[in-house]
Chains A and B, each alone.
Chain A
Amino acid sequence: NAGVTQTPKFQVLKTGQSMTLQCAQDMNHNSMYWYRQDPGMGLRLIYYSASEGTTDKGEVPNGYNVSRLNKREFSLRLESAAPSQTSVYFCASSDYSPINEQFFGPGTRLTVL
């Protein structure tokens, strides 16, 4: 089992460019999450999907969109990247709800120039 996988691992964008971060899990989990991690701060939830076909905003959703493509895959899209979106992005999944343990991917390090 690969667990949670993310692509790409690194990305450099120019301001205004768009890109999609991909995430997939093979643990048959219902819930999936996107976080960002900035230096000196705790992880912040961007969006989550409680189950296939549903998505909800988290703490910092502005500038992002998500798609729950199927039970396995949950993508995060930056339509017009800004320097403030420079961060490390983590995808996670859990069984049914946040009350259960979350399993994280290796992260995507994004730099916006």
Chain B
Amino acid sequence: KNQVEQSPQSLIILEGKNCTLQCNYTVSPFSNLRWYKQDTGRGPVSLTIMTFSENTKSNGRYTATLDADTKQSSLHITASQLSDSASYICVVLDSNYQLIWGAGTKLIIKP
């Protein structure tokens, strides 16, 4: 069964620190992999979309990496800010154009 698993489930870091969130997937083949940010009480907002041929993609302080061989992706956040407190969701689009959603990592930034 196609699955997307994220780790850790939750993470607390101090403001200004860096962090990396992990995503492992079993979807094969896939069309693209996305990272979304979801603030509490809001809908998800797209951060990055990567095709299987892309290894890395940045959006400001957010950098996503993709290793299609090991079926792993990571989202690295640099110099965290209080506004980065949110859930980060990894999503894989399979070859049937179905989106497979991970459960998300809840990130809390403390001052």
Interface size class of B (residues with CB under 8 A): 20 to 34
Shortest CB distance B46–A (Å): 5
B62 interface hit (Cβ, 8 Å): no
Q: What residues of chain A lie closer than 8 Å to B44, measured between beta carbons? A: 43, 90, 104
Contact string against B for A residues 89-113, beta-carbon threshold 8 Å, 1 for contact and 0 otherwise: 0101000011101111111000000
Interface residues of B in 26-81 (CB under 8 A from A): 31-32, 34, 41-46, 49
Would A45 and B49 be within 8 Å (CB), given that A99-B32, A99-B93, A107-B41 are in contact?
A: no
Q: What residues of chain B lie closer than 8 Å to A97, measured between beta carbons? A: 97
Q: What residues of chain A lie closer than 8 Å to B97, measured between beta carbons? A: 97-99
Please report whether the interface of chain A is mostly helix, strand, loop or mixed according to DSSP.
loop
Please report whether the interface of chain B is mostly helix, strand, loop or mixed according to DSSP.
strand
B83 interface hit (Cβ, 8 Å): no
B4 interface hit (Cβ, 8 Å): yes
Shortest CB distance B25–A (Å): 11
Contact string against A for B residues 68-111, beta-carbon threshold 8 Å, 1 for contact and 0 otherwise: 00000000000000000000010101000111111110000000
A90 to B38, CA, bound (A): 12
Would A42 and B46 be within 8 Å (CB), given that A98-B93, A98-B99 are in contact?
A: no
Which B-chain residue is minimally distant from A42 (CB atoms)?
B101
